[in-house]
Structure 1
Amino acid sequence: MTGTIFSYTSLLPLLALSSVFATLGNSTPIMKRANVPTSKAGYNRVWYENWGHKDGITHNWVFNLGTSYPGQVAQWGTGEIQTYTNKAENIKIVNKILWITPKKKTDSKGKVTWTSGRLEGTRANKWACADGKKMVVEASIKLGSAGEAQQKGIWPAFWMLGDDFRTRGYKGWPEIGEIDIMESVNGKRQTWGLIHCGMYDGQIPIRGPCNEPDGKGGYVKGIGRGLWHTYGIEIDRTSKNWKNETITWIINGVRHHSITGSQINNASAWNYLAHQKMFILLDVAVGGGFPNGVEGGLTPYSTTIDGDSVGMQVDWVAVWQST
């Protein structure tokens, strides 16, 4: 979700995926929202968000506002067209559920503009997997149920960035590491789980340990929309050799694709991805390189709608460390 505006453009046609491998799965959705789990065998829950704090969103999160980090790459680095706000029409809590809703407005001259919402964890909320341990980061999420034709260009995501990104003044992508736990574009019944790392100089074709700008990872088909799913990643550092450490994507308890240190084959890049502290982000973008690359054209379209049926709901977020 971050980087330069060239990111993801070489994903066209994405489904060929020369740098990303596919996983077909029938992950069972959660038909009703469930309480944030209080236990997980072999783990301690070290942090969770259930949106029940008296100070609301700002208890654990800060709003990303506008069209970029202060003084940094425009359009959030990916060519997105929305402006992020903290208005209730874009981001709010209802019955202990976070709603992020893209909104479209047309002025008297016919110009269309979009707004939406984006959060990142506060400076205190950042985590790393300890040496010899495992860490799981997961969230219960419902994606908008509108048809694909109405969601072209809509891009919800649950992801993480290396905390060094903030200490450097929001600079250093992709070296600081990015783990996309769940991304979905254009209303597809499909989600992506990717990593970004190493260096990227804005050139095509893909290059570096994480094949930038595409990243490395995979996707899962058959993900029902308008239903609750639990999306997560597990970082496993129980091996004594970093090349055997893994990052695995999990949906509703089903393990899908994994990336190993040996596949990255770059100790510095893997260190940022699997060893260093990261913070969590939640957002719904509009337009940009990823939905454009998947669609094979510039999104959103005139037929793309706004509102809750193309937004994202988040029931809870949790971080677990193995005992």
Structure 2
Amino acid sequence: MTGAISSYISLLPFLSSVFTTLVISTPIERRAEPAAKPGFNRVWYDDWGHKNGITHNWNFNLGTSYPGQVAQWGTGEIQTYTNKTENIRIVNKVLYITPKKGKDAKGKITWTSGRLESKRGSQWACANGKKMLVEASIKLGSAGEAQQKGIWPAFWMLGDVFRAQGYKGWPEVGELDIMESVNGKREAWGLLHCGVYDGQIPIRGPCNEPDGRGGSVKGIGRGLWHTYGIEIDRTTKNWKTEKVTWIINGVRRHSITGSQINNSTAWEFLTHKKMFILLNVAVGGGFPNGVEPGNALTPFSTTIDGDSVGMQVDWVGVWQQA
């Protein structure tokens, strides 16, 4: 998710590196099966129907960081991730990730939530001359914005070399944020992170870290099912004209080419090397703070917990062009 494993927690998502498209997305009022994808093979899929449940395809991320790595997951988020059913569970073949509010022994408010990453062995790369598509059907919490300040659901990918080397090396390893939405806004961000970042201002490297490169789509209906996806297109066999495209409900929203990144090594990590999938709902941190006036610290006293501010996932899949 935006700025993951960075020591800098104050994001500025409205810099010129991020452009916004105003689109009223077509709502999906009921769960939908993945659309047919002629010319593609489905290579991995989870619809939460396995007898082993969540652990069939996923590992839980627990606590407040990867073991021994940057605190607060590198983004300043305040929740503790658990594997408790109050935070993450399957109901009628739908995954629920639910932030919960509590109090510690001193009466201080605490937050818990859930975060998953696809198991080791479940990571994918787009072959040269081919396309790869990663999609999920997701419903975001329908509570009002005042009740969702600081709530940060995300569907994203990280370069597999990141976990192979002990969860080190962000953002060089590459990150594809397929869908992020903060503070209950009717807006979904699709960003990528790459290259270098040293925790300083101004922004750094080919992906303008810590902001990243990409865009957002407004008018995303909450409490409705939407299909969020990302397509990696290497059919040109020339890294400068290869392309990453964000897709919502089958409609292409925005794209970034290799020439826009203008760094062959960074582009290779983003589009040529294997990546794994993550699903989570964070609370607080640089991104939700950064979209509030004055970079106000979230969550607020008005922020509620429960399913109405969480994220539901019907299915997740990976398709490779035949």
Match of 1:268, SS state, is helix
Aligned to 2:231: 234
CA contact 2:198–2:204 (8 Å) conserved in 1: no
Aligned to 1:132: 129
1:26 corresponds to 2:24: yes
* CA distance in structure 1 between the aligned counterparts of 2:34 and 2:16, rounded to whole angstroms: 37
* CA distance in structure 1 between the aligned counterparts of 2:17 and 2:264, rounded to whole angstroms: 20
1:256 corresponds to 2:253: yes
1:191 corresponds to 2:188: yes
Deviation, 1:36, is 4.0
Aligned to 2:7: 5
CA contact 1:10–1:204 (8 Å) conserved in 2: no
Aligned to 1:35: 33
TM-score (ref. length: structure 2): 0.97
CA contact 1:210–1:264 (8 Å) conserved in 2: yes
Aligned to 2:179: 182
1:219 corresponds to 2:220: no
Alignment deviations for residues 274-300 of structure 1 (CA, whole Å, 9 cap, x no partner): 000000000000000000001120000
Deviation, 1:24, is 1.7
What is the aligned length? 318
Deviation, 1:4, is 1.5
Question: Aligned to 1:104, which of 101, 106, 109?
Answer: 101
Aligned to 2:315: 316
Amino acid in structure 2 at the alignment position of 1:33: R
Amino acid in structure 2 at the alignment position of 1:60: N
Deviation, 1:124, is 1.1
Amino acid in structure 2 at the alignment position of 1:213: P
Counterpart mapping for 1:74-89 below 5 A: 74-89=71-86
Unmatched runs of 5 consecutive residues or more in structure 2: none
Amino acid in structure 2 at the alignment position of 1:312: M
* CA distance in structure 1 between the aligned counterparts of 2:214 and 2:157, rounded to whole angstroms: 14
Aligned to 1:246: 243
Deviation, 1:44, is 1.1
* CA distance in structure 2 between the aligned counterparts of 1:224 and 1:200, rounded to whole angstroms: 34
Match of 1:243, SS state, is coil
Alignment deviations for residues 227-282 of structure 1 (CA, whole Å, 9 cap, x no partner): 00000000000002110000000000010010000000000000000000000000
CA contact 1:5–1:289 (8 Å) conserved in 2: no
CA contact 1:10–1:205 (8 Å) conserved in 2: no
Match of 2:191, SS state, is strand
CA contact 1:140–1:229 (8 Å) conserved in 2: yes
Deviation, 1:108, is 5.8
Aligned to 1:143: 140
Aligned to 2:306: 307
Identity %: 78
Mean Cα displacement is larger for which, 98-107 or 243-252? 98-107
Deviation, 1:26, is 2.3
Question: Aligned to 1:92, which of 89, 93, 100?
Answer: 89
* CA distance in structure 2 between the aligned counterparts of 1:211 and 1:62, rounded to whole angstroms: 30
* CA distance in structure 1 between the aligned counterparts of 2:78 and 2:7, rounded to whole angstroms: 11
Amino acid in structure 1 at the alignment position of 2:318: V
Alignment deviations for residues 132-177 of structure 1 (CA, whole Å, 9 cap, x no partner): 0000000000000000000000000000000000111000000000
Match of 2:209, SS state, is coil
Deviation, 1:90, is 0.1
Aligned to 1:201: 198
* CA distance in structure 2 between the aligned counterparts of 1:49 and 1:224, rounded to whole angstroms: 24
Alignment deviations for residues 39-87 of structure 1 (CA, whole Å, 9 cap, x no partner): 3122111111000000000000000000000000000000000000000
* CA distance in structure 2 between the aligned counterparts of 1:164 and 1:118, rounded to whole angstroms: 19
Amino acid in structure 1 at the alignment position of 2:240: K
CA contact 1:24–1:222 (8 Å) conserved in 2: yes
CA contact 1:120–1:280 (8 Å) conserved in 2: yes
* CA distance in structure 2 between the aligned counterparts of 1:267 and 1:22, rounded to whole angstroms: 26
TM-score (ref. length: structure 1): 0.97
